[in-house]
Structure formats: structure tokens, C-alpha cells
Amino acid sequence: MERKRGTAGPAGPPLDGGYGWFIVLSTFLVFGLTFGVIKSFGVFFVEIHHYFSTTATASSWITSISVATVHIGAPVGSALSTYFGHRPVVMAGGLLSSVGMVLGSFAQDLLQLYITVGFLTGFGYALTWTPTVTMLGWYFDKRRPVANALSSTGECLLTFILTPSFQLMVDQFSWRGAMLILGALQLNLCVCGALLRPLSRHDYFKDSIEENEHELSKCSNNRADSDPMKVKVIRYVDYTLIANSRFMVYSMFGIFAALGFFAPSLFLVPYARSQGVEEYQAASLMSISAVLDLLGRVFFGWVANLRLVETVHQLIGTVVLLGAVLLLCPLATTFTQLAVFSAGYGLVFGATVAIHITVLAEVVGVERLGSALGFFMLIRSSGGLLGPPLAGIFIDKMSDYGAGFLMAGVALLVSALFLIVLHFMNKKETEHKKDICSENEEEHEDLKNRNFVFGKS
């Protein structure tokens, strides 16, 4: 079978070290300048909500559209980076993110904010996040849980820095001036793209690629004319993942988890303000959450790397805890109580995010991680899109920001059910493989005995 030459450059340094740590740095900054900015956007939410005199539901669509676009655009980012290379696609995404924020600072109504900050910036995030995380998975193997955990702490650290900084900039320059500054800050995503040194996938994953292509010949029912096209398509977008039952179950977990992931960070500052907490104290709650989030990612990423328990078991435990913590949030009414909630929420959230990409790699294999990330984000987009507005509907109906946390907590508990299903599927597959190995050993032993008898006779 003739193989089209990929766009990747020559093979890089050995896995689990070397230049891989610069990839960790790049991914660290990408996490911070994408999801860290999204989590800090609650400061802008309050100002925009009052400036346009609109409902919580209408204002929340800005973040919702941005999150959904990141997810929906993930397969596009994966395919483009496979075709053009990761470095130029990430740099283009950084430029688009910056343009979206700058244009958003001149918006005259919510619709313009939906288009600029929501869609343009969100799509720019999709072009930066997916290719960078994919390349991180290529550079690390045994240390992948730690590498994923360390890089994801960029989201926590920049949330810690950006939330009070945004509040200060809003006070000094208004929300428009602050958003203009943020647009300039987003240009650093282009630097992150420049750090990505290409790796040759064929050098590192040759056996896996050849096996996948062999299986795809089998699937075409011996139609030689269809094989080249299918192989070409699957190289950029591995659509066969939708037939992987374990991947689809994990994607269902992603949908319900996304319903609860993004609403709390958007509504924590407004909830604190509604309880009479002073604005800078309210903004500091996100910083408290970010610090514990960072600790949670590093510590539980290290725990996952020890392989003491299966990572899916660890993920089930952290998701259940996260749902329980969110359900307890409305009981917090003072700054001290809210600070305790923020610390608990940040710690368990960090523990969850630190390993969910590692579990995805275990479900599909590292060679298919790029396409899997794209499809996973695409499927999860419905949860990211509906989460904040759904929480906003509950808030508007009940006139209480605490209702948004209750919705998020329930969604996360439901998502844990799909992880439990995945656990039993993994267990069944492991038992099936053991049975096959036992049968092969028995056949081998039987063949040896027959050969021995034949030789004796």
C-alpha cells in the first residue's frame, strides 16, 4: 500500500523527556490562555450583565458559545494540524483568538459578543488546544499522566493571576479596555505554537499505523478502488472511532461532565456578590479555587503515574466527589464559607481534569489520540453549549445563583454512571483477552504433545 508522506518533520528526541518538556511548557500556556481565560470570564460576566441590562441566561451564552465552539472545532483543529502541521495551525489559532477578543471590546450588543468572543475566539482556542495536547501525548509515554497533569496546571495558575487582574483592569479601564488588553495577551498563543517541534508519527507509531491501515483494507470488503480514499480520510479524521463502544461511552461521560464543568466557574463570582461579598473578595474566590486546582492536578497526576489503581477508578472517585461538593455550595453564604467551598471545589476539579485525557488515551490508544480528542470534544460540545444557559434558566426561574450549582452537581453525578459502565466494559474486555490467551496456550501445549507423540512413534 502506497503511503502518503506526512507533513511532520524528522523524528524528535526520545519519549518522556528532552524537548518534550518544552512541549509541556507550550501546553501549560495554552491551557492557561484558553480554559484559564474562560474560567476567569466571570468578572466580565457581571459587568456585561449590568451594562446591557440583560438576563443571566442571555449573558451566559457568550461563554457557552465559546466553550461549544472549542469543542465543535476540535476535529477541525485535529485534521488541519495533521495536514498542515501543528505549529502553523496553533499560531493561526492564537491570532484568531486575539482578533476575536479585540473585536469584542467594540461590541454594541450581545449578538456581536456572541460572534466575536463566543465564536471567533472559541474557534481560535480549538485550533490551539487540540493540536498542542495531541503533540504532548506523542512526546510522552510512561510519564504521560504527570505530563498531562503538569501542563493542565496552566489553567489553574493563569486563572489565579487573571481573575483579580481582570477585576483591576475593569475598574481602571472598563470592561471594554480590559477585553482589549486581553486580546493582546492572547497573541502569546502564537508563541506556544512556535515551540511545537514536529515529530514523525511513522517513526514512533509505525506498527500501530500499519495495523490500523491493514484493518481498514479488511473493512472495505476487498474493494481496491475504495481503499486509498478511506486510508487518506482516516489519516486526518479517524471516523471509525464512532464504532468503538468504549469511546462512545466515555464520550457520554464527557457530555454530562461538560454540563457541570463550566457553569460553576462562571457563576461563582456573581453568586458571591449576591450574598453580599465585596467585589475583590468575590474575585479572590476564583484565585483560591485556582491554587487548590493546581495542587489537585499535580498531586493526583502523580498518584495516577504510580499506577496504584486503574485511572478510570480514580476518575470515578473524583467525579463523584466533585458532584457532591457542588451540591453543597448553596449552603455557603459568607466569604469564609465560600472560600472553603472554593478550595474544596478547586482541589477535586483539579484531580478530575488531571487524568481525564489520560483515560481517553487508554481507551483509544495514543496513535488515535488526535482524532479521539477531536471527536470527544465535538460530542462533548452539546454539554458545554447547554451547561451555562441551562444553569442560567434555573437561576432566572428561582432568582438564586445557587440553583446553577445544584444543576451542575447533578450532571456530574450522572456522568459518573457512564464511567462505571466503562469500568465494566474494560473488565469484560480484559477477561476476554485472558480467555483468548488461555486458549492459545492450550492449543500450543496440545500441539507440543502431538509433536512429541509423533516423534516417539
Dump pLDDT digits (tens) for 5-20.
Answer: 344 443 444 567 778 8
Q: What is the CATH number of domain 20-197+237-433?
A: 1.20.1250.20
Q: Is the pLDDT of residue 169 over 70?
A: yes
Say which residue, 116 or 142, is predicted with more confidence. 116
Per the CB < 8 A criterion, the answer to whether 271 and 286 are in contact is no
Q: Where are the beta strands (DSSP E) in 237-329?
A: none
Cα distances (angstroms) measured from residue 274 to each of 46, 113, 237, 327: 11, 25, 46, 18
Least Cα distance to 30 among 251, 368, 321, 357 occurs for 357
The residue assigned the cell 440553583 is: 403
Identity of the amino acid at 82: T
Q: pLDDT per residue over 242-274, tens digit each?
A: 788 898 999 999 999 988 887 777 788 888 988
pLDDT for 6: 41
pLDDT for 237: 63
- Residue 366 to residue 358: CA distance in whole angstroms: 9
Mean pLDDT of 224-241: 60
The pLDDT confidence band at residue 327, using thresholds 50, 70 and 90, is very high
What is the residue-averaged pLDDT of the chain? 81
Mean pLDDT of 177-200: 90
The pLDDT confidence band at residue 422, using thresholds 50, 70 and 90, is very high
Mean pLDDT of 180-186: 94
Give the count of beta carbons closer than 10 Å to the beta carbon of residue 401. Answer: 23
pLDDT for 26: 94
Locate 336 and state its grid cell. Answer: 469564609
Identity of the amino acid at 204: Y
pLDDT for 48: 87
Cβ partners under 8 Å of residue 14, min gap 6: none
Cβ partners under 8 Å of residue 295, min gap 6: 347, 350
Least Cα distance to 272 among 322, 321, 330, 327 occurs for 330
Cα distances (angstroms) measured from residue 134 to each of 115, 177, 322: 27, 34, 26
Mean pLDDT of 306-316: 88
pLDDT for 177: 94
Q: What is the dihedral of CA 292, 298, 71, 6, to 10 degrees?
A: 160
Per the CB < 8 A criterion, the answer to whether 48 and 175 are in contact is yes
Locate 387 and state its grid cell. Answer: 451547561
Mean pLDDT of 161-186: 91
Least Cα distance to 35 among 348, 350, 254, 315 occurs for 350
- Residue 24 to residue 41: CA distance in whole angstroms: 25
Q: Is the pLDDT of residue 304 over 80?
A: yes
pLDDT for 441: 64
Least Cα distance to 40 among 189, 184, 182 occurs for 182
Locate 163 and state its grid cell. Answer: 481573575
Q: Of 236-240, 306-310, 406-410, where does the model show the most confidence?
A: 406-410
Per the CB < 8 A criterion, the answer to whether 270 and 56 are in contact is yes
- Residue 374 to residue 209: CA distance in whole angstroms: 18
Q: pLDDT per residue over 350-400, tens digit each?
A: 899 888 888 888 888 777 777 787 788 788 878 877 887 888 888 888 888
Mean pLDDT of 32-36: 90
- Residue 99 to residue 181: CA distance in whole angstroms: 12
Give the count of beta carbons closer than 10 Å to the beta carbon of residue 95. Answer: 18
Locate 337 and state its grid cell. Answer: 464559607
Q: Is the pLDDT of residue 297 over 80?
A: yes
The pLDDT confidence band at residue 440, using thresholds 50, 70 and 90, is low
Q: pLDDT per residue over 81-139, tens digit each?
A: 888 889 999 999 999 999 999 999 999 999 999 999 999 999 999 999 889 988 888 88
Q: N- to C-terminal Cα distance for the chain?
A: 47
Share of the chain above pLDDT 90, in %: 29
Per the CB < 8 A criterion, the answer to whether 130 and 74 are in contact is yes
